[in-house]
């Protein structure tokens, strides 16, 4: 996946933002009591964290992001896992440790979002030459990401189609679809960045 920190428009003396997935320091024994569907939901936390983080880092106007776009919500996890969100109701599981688990990762996402908002407000405008260089970098990465994800998706899908176990095949295809859609979001974010740079360059003409 593209590290959007590599293409930041911030000044070089800005402190680097730690956007890595944080380790969870709390007790995870509660996960052992989860059903298969509940476990599938919890396992999507990492993927959703990365997705939300990339959305924040790619946004030119992070303050305009809705909370559901920049944080981890149980309903979104259920959607990504391909199961009904009713599986994580209070009457079906011990919801407290699950909420603490999400809170830990959401705290990191909120910190990333807040610092990103501050950086966007304080950053200087790039010169025309700098914009042209950045635009070229994004164009290259955009093409690479687009081609890479298309190839990986269809190769994996083809492999799944010849699998012996139909249940495993269906689950694999669902996971591939989610991964592919996530890749498309990254590509869409890059496309948005390119459009913004083009607009800025045109204004300098």
Q: Are residues 111 and 41 part of one domain?
A: yes
**How many other CB atoms are there within 10 angstroms of residue 138's CB atom?**
20
Asked if pLDDT for residue 182 goes beyond 50, the answer is yes
Please list, in sequence order, all residues whose beta carbon lies within 8 angstroms of the beta carbon of residue 193, skipping any fewer than 6 positions away: 7, 58, 60, 138
CA atoms of 94 and 21, how far apart (whole Å)? 24
Asked if pLDDT for residue 189 goes beyond 90, the answer is no
Q: Which domain holds residue 205?
A: 126-205
Q: Are residues 101 and 9 part of one domain?
A: yes
Q: Are residues 79 and 22 part of one domain?
A: yes
What is the tally of structural domains in the chain? 2
Domain finish residue from 104, 124, 144: 124
Residue 157's pLDDT band (cuts 50, 70, 90):
low
* CA dihedral for 19, 183, 193, 6, sign (positive or negative): positive
Phi, psi of 34 (to 5 degrees): -75, 150
User: Token pair for residue 18?
Assistant: 């730690």
For residues 40 and 83, the answer to whether their CB atoms sit within 8 Å is yes
Please list, in sequence order, all residues whose beta carbon lies within 8 angstroms of the beta carbon of residue 5, skipping any fewer than 6 positions away: 16, 17, 19, 57
Best mean pLDDT range from 83-87, 116-120, 129-133, 154-158: 83-87
Mean pLDDT, residues 76-91 taken together: 94
What is the per-residue pLDDT for 168? 61
Mean pLDDT, residues 150-155 taken together: 61
């Amino acid at each position: 996946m593209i590290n959007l920190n590599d293409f930041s428009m911030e000044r070089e003396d800005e402190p680097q933002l730690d956007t890595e997935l944080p380790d969870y320091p709390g007790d995870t024994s509660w996960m052992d009591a989860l059903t298969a569907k509940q476990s599938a939901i919890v396992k999507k936390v990492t993927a959703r964290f990365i997705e939300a983080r990339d959305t924040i880092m790619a946004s030119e106007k992070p303050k305009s992001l809705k909370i559901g776009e920049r944080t981890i919500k149980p309903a979104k996890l259920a959607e990504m896992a391909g199961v009904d969100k009713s599986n994580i109701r209070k009457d079906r599981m011990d919801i407290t440790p699950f909420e603490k688990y999400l809170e830990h990762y959401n705290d990191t996402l909120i910190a990333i979002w807040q610092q990103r908002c501050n950086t966007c407000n304080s950053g200087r405008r790039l010169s025309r030459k700098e914009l042209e260089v950045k635009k070229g970098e994004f164009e290259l990465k955009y093409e690479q990401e687009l081609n890479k994800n298309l190839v990986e998706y269809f190769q994996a899908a083809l492999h799944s189609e010849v699998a012996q176990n139909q249940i495993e095949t269906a689950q694999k295809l669902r996971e591939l679809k989610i991964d592919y859609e996530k890749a498309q979001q990254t590509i869409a974010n890059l496309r948005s960045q390119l459009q913004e740079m083009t607009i800025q360059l045109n204004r300098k003409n």
